[in-house]
Structure formats: C-alpha cells, structure tokens
C-alpha cells in the first residue's frame, strides 16, 4: 500500500484521458484542450473517491470485529467488548492524527522512522499527488484501527479496560507506524530488500497478531479454560449467529481493504486491477471456509462453526499480501492453505495453553506470515529473501516491544480483572452494565470435544 509516485499518477491521468479520447475527437480544437486540461482532475477525483469509499468500507470492518467478538464471548462480557471496539477506533483516530501518519510517511528513503508531528492536510500539490491529502489520511487511519481490533478479541473476557486502552494508544501511535514506515513509507525494508506487502498481511495483520500473542501470554488464560489435569474446556460464546454476521461484515470490508490498496481508480488499468483484486479476495475467503469444513468433516467428524468462520478470515488475511497478481486458481490455493493453517494452528495453541478467545492469532498472525511468504509465487518483483527479512523484522520488533509494554502495564497498573470480577463478568465490574441472564448451569464452560 505504498503511495503512488508522481510518474505513476501522471500515467493514471494519461490513461484517464485516453478513455475520453473517443468523445474528444468529435469536438473542436478548443473543446479538445478543455478535455485534456480536465483529465488530471478527473483522475484526482476518481482516486480520491476510491480512498473515501474504500475507507468507509474498511471502517465498517470495525463493526464486523465487534460483532464477531461479541458473539464469541459470554453474554456477561458482550457489552464490554462493544465499548472496547468503539473506543479503540476512536483512540486510533486520534493517535494517527497526532503522530502515527507522519511516522509512517515522514520517513526518509531507506530510513527507520518518520517525524513525530501531528498530521495536517496539504493539497498544495494536489494534481501532482493524484488524490486529496485528507482522503489518504482517512484510508491509512482505518488500517491502523484494524490492527488494534485484532488484539481486542484475543485478550477478551479478562483484560481490564484502561490498560487495554493504554496499550492501544501505544500500538496505534508508535508500534504500528514505525514498522509500517519500513515498507509503505519507503523505509529500509522497501529500499534495501524490496519487501512487498500489498495491503498488509504482515504490516497490519501479523502486527496485530504478534501484539495479541504478547497480550495473551502476559494475561494468562481465562479462569476455567484449562483444568488442573491438562484438560481443555470449551467456553461457549453468547451468539454464534452474531459471530457469523461479524465475519460476513469483515468479508465485505476486505474488498475495501484490498481493493482500496490499489491506491488509484483514475485509469482503465486501475479499474481492471481493482476488479481483479475483488475477485481474488473473494475466492481466497471462499476456499478458506471450504477447506476448514472439509477437514473438520474428514478428521473430526463434526464441523466447528467458529473454526469455519476463522477459515474465511484466514483466507482473506493470506491473500492480502498480494491480491492483484495471482490467477484465480492461485488465489484459491493461497486461501485454501490459509484455511488449513486455521485447522492446524488453533488446536496447537490450545495444547500450549494459550487462550485466544476468538482465534485471532492463527487467522491474523500465522496466515499473515503465510500470505507474505507466498508473494514471490505470483509476483516476480518480490523475492523470498526480501519477504523473509520483512516477516522477521516485523516479528523481532512488534512482539518483544508489545510484550514489554504489556508486562510494564501489568507491573504498574495491573492488566487483569480479579478472579471475582472475571467470574461475575466484566460488563458488571468494568462498565456497570448487568449481563443478560445466562441459563447455562456451568456458566458456558464445557469439556472440549
């Protein structure tokens, strides 16, 4: 999702002019001059519209994450999940304005970090840039909020609100922008290694996954999740239909996530590219679901709905690193392997006693790494070495820094609700909203099948 260069934008404008060529030929010379003069403006308008419309679609993913998480937690924690998701989006908005955007895009070529300064709109060179500055800021901001949403689901049902909000501010203001600047801002990963991550399999999703893993390790599992004799207890969510709705919303939002990352719609080639991205994105999600359903049927004899939902997300995350260059069958294969990763990694984390409430770590971290490493299979401009360096740099920066921050918060203010608060539910202890009655005699905790 690197910014377009002036030359690329100029080409976009020329392509837009060629689309108008047939009508221009029928005009007088003066009319032709008017058409020619308006072509860069038309490209500017279409590119700006792409950012704004796709940005709104990506923003709707916040609702998808909220519904998914609210459906997969117990009813006594559902209102807290809703508060976390709307507040984290607000925090991301403010932090990207204060420092995040200029850290990403204020970096010098080949550098490590941008400038620590608030963002302000500058359209003085609008036609050369090719889009409105504010539209670009908005589109970049909703990506940052997505990474924070990933963390929310993993640490649900036991994390305290204000420590989570503090971590979100650091993640969206510093951790995410610094590592994103290395590639999307033209920093050292892009300049020296040619690392390629079209829409953020690593820069967005693995970043959120590493931060979530650090949070899960610092917090520990929910009470009752793991028994003293090594048994694993399944904690049933409040509403699987609500969780399914959340995944459908995320699936829809991914068209904005990947399609908008083309960064232009002012030419024939850009319009075709966005269309192909939509098709590949949809195909990868579909095969991710089908793979999980088939594997569950063959190997478990019962289909796990929550795992099938994450199969869709795993396929979407996997294709995000390069949704443009694959043929349809390649997109299907990439998504299918993403679904396979969900099936394998989810029980592996359970066996390691890592409590990930919504399965975000397999879907976003592991599938993000797979999708990023698969880029050279379809994009000849990328190399396996460059991709490996990018994945490794992301891991070595995001995970240790996130873990240190979680541990510092744990030591200074405490990050986990008390046993009594957790048993009662965070809706009551954190926000004073009594939960809906839970008619399960065991509190929605069941032995895992």
Residue count (the chain): 449
Burial class for 165, CB neighbours closer than 10 Å (0-12, 13-18, 19+): middle
Q: Which residues contact 348 (CB under 8 A, 6 or more apart)?
A: none
Which residue shows structure tokens 């069941």? Answer: 446
- Please compute, for residue 86, the number of CA atoms within 13 A of its CA located in the half-sphere on the CB side: 6
Q: What is the pLDDT of residue 3?
A: 65
Which tokens is 140 given? 């970049």
Tens of pLDDT, residue by residue over 192-237, are 999 999 999 999 999 999 999 999 999 999 999 998 887 899 899 9
Burial class for 125, CB neighbours closer than 10 Å (0-12, 13-18, 19+): exposed
How far, in Å, CA of 199 to CA of 274, rounded? 12
Q: Which residues contact 215 (CB under 8 A, 6 or more apart)?
A: 151, 154, 155, 159, 167, 402, 406
Q: Computed over its alpha carbons, how large is the radius of gyration of the chain?
A: 23
Residues of the chain with pLDDT under 70: 3-37, 126, 434-449
Which tokens is 387 given? 């991709």
Q: What is the pLDDT of residue 8?
A: 47
How far, in Å, CA of 386 to CA of 431, rounded? 46
Q: Quick one: residue 432, left, alpha or beta (phi over 0 = left, psi -120 to 50 = alpha)?
A: left
CATH topology of domain 49-447: Ammonium transporter fold (1.10.3430)
Which tokens is 124 given? 């003085």
Q: What is the pLDDT of residue 383?
A: 96
Q: Which residues contact 77 (CB under 8 A, 6 or more apart)?
A: 156, 157, 425, 426, 427, 435
Tens of pLDDT, residue by residue over 138-153, are 999 999 999 999 999 9
How far, in Å, CA of 100 to CA of 119, rounded? 8
């Amino acid at each position: 999702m690197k910014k377009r260069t002036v030359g690329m934008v100029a080409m976009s404008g020329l392509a837009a002019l060629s689309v108008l060529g047939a009508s221009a030929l029928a005009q007088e010379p003066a009319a032709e001059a008017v058409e020619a003069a308006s072509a860069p403006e038309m490209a500017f308008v279409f590119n700006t519209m792409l950012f704004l419309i796709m940005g709104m679609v990506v923003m709707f993913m916040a609702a998808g994450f909220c519904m998914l998480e609210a459906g997969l937690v117990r009813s006594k924690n559902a209102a807290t999940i809703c508060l976390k998701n709307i507040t984290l989006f607000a925090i991301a908005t403010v932090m990207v304005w204060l420092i995040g955007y200029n850290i990403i895009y204020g970096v010098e070529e080949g550098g490590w970090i941008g400038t620590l300064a608030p963002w302000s709109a500058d359209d003085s060179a609008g036609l050369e840039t090719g889009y409105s500055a504010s539209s670009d800021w908005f589109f970049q901001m909703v990506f940052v909020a997505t990474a924070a949403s990933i963390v929310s689901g993993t640490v649900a049902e036991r994390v305290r609100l204000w420590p989570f909000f503090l971590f979100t501010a650091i993640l969206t203001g510093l951790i995410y922008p610094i590592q994103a600047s290395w590639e999307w801002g033209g920093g050292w990963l892009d300049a020296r290694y040619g690392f390629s991550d079209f829409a953020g399999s690593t820069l967005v999703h693995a970043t959120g996954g590493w931060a979530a893993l650090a949070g899960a390790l610092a917090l520990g599992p929910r009470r009752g999740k793991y028994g003293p004799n090594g048994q694993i207890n399944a904690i049933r969510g409040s509403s699987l239909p609500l969780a399914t709705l959340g995944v459908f919303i995320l699936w829809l939002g991914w068209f904005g996530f990947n399609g908008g990352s083309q960064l232009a719609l002012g030419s024939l080639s850009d319009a075709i590219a966005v269309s192909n991205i939509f098709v590949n994105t949809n195909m990868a999600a579909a095969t991710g679901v089908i793979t999980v359903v088939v594997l569950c049927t063959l190997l478990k004899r019962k289909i796990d709905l929550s795992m099938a939902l994450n199969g869709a997300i795993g396929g979407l995350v996997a294709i995000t690193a390069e949704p443009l260059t694959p043929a349809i069958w390649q997109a299907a294969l990439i998504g299918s392997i993403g679904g396979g990763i969900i099936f394998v990694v989810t029980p592996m984390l359970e066996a390691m006693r890592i409590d990930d409430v919504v399965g975000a770590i397999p879907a976003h971290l592991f599938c993000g790494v797979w999708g990023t490493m698969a880029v050279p299979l379809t994009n000849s401009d990328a190399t396996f070495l460059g991709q490996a360096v990018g994945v490794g740099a992301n891991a070595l920066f995001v995970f240790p820094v996130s873990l240190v921050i979680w541990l510092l918060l744990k030591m200074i203010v405490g990050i986990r609700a008390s046993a009594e608060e957790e048993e009662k539910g965070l809706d009551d202890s954190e926000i004073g909203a009594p939960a809906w009655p839970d008619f399960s005699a065991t509190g929605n905790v069941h032995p895992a099948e």
